[in-house]
Structure formats: C-alpha cells, structure tokens
Amino acid sequence: MARILIVDDAKFMRLTLFNILSKANHEVVGEGENGLEAIRLYRELDPDLVTMDITMPEMSGLEAVKEIKKEFPNAKVVMCSAMGQQKMVVEAIEAGAKDFIVKPFDENRVIEAINRVLS
C-alpha cells in the first residue's frame, strides 16, 4: 500500500483516480488542482507517488515535475495525459516522470503503472 497524491484540475478525474487507487488498497493522502498545489502538497505530505495531470491552470504538470524533481530527486511521478499529447508525455519523462497513464483511465493500466513505479 502506497501513500499517493493526486493532482488534476478536473474534480471528476481526481475522483476517478481516487476510486481506482482506493480499491487497490492505496491511501490517497491529498489532492491538488494545479502544479503550484502539487509542489506545496508534495512538501507537506511527502507521498510515495504522485499522479500528475499535464495540462492545468496556474502551473502545468510538466513545470511541477521539474520543480519537484529538483527539490526531491527520488520523487516518483506518474503523468496523466489525454490522447494525442505524446510530445508532452516525452517531455514529462525527460523531466523525470517515471511513467504515464492515458485518459480516459483504464483501471488495470493505472494499477499496473503505479505498481511498476513503486517496485
């Protein structure tokens, strides 16, 4: 069981991930709506893993990953992206993300990615 922070500007997406992760016996320790919140919550909560949307207001997931990885080089981040954002996914991996999951979420793929990054 891991302590996970969910960051997505869409409440529905956070709820979907919350349900998938809870069902898999993970603990969701916090939720954020943008990259700035992601950084603040990461510092506060020290989660085992973060799921991070790419496109968000105020600060993108891409910028947030770079900031988090600068401060916490061992941070484990799984990016979430809509179809057709391959270029951004590549940038996210280069910025330090460990994996990515595509929206709409496939429950098995989400759990698979989380378990792979945690192991």
The parts of the chain modelled with pLDDT lower than 70 are 83-85
Q: What Rg, from alpha-carbon coordinates, does the chain have? A: 12
Cα–Cα distance for residue pair 95/15, rounded to 1 Å: 26
Question: How much is the pLDDT for 117?
Answer: 97
Cα–Cα distance for residue pair 82/104, rounded to 1 Å: 7
Question: How much is the pLDDT for 27?
Answer: 98
First to last CA, the chain: 11
Instruction: Read off the pLDDT of residues 23-52 as tens digits, 9 standing for 90 and up.
Output: 999 999 999 999 999 999 999 999 999 999
Question: How much is the pLDDT for 87?
Answer: 82
Question: How much is the pLDDT for 71?
Answer: 97
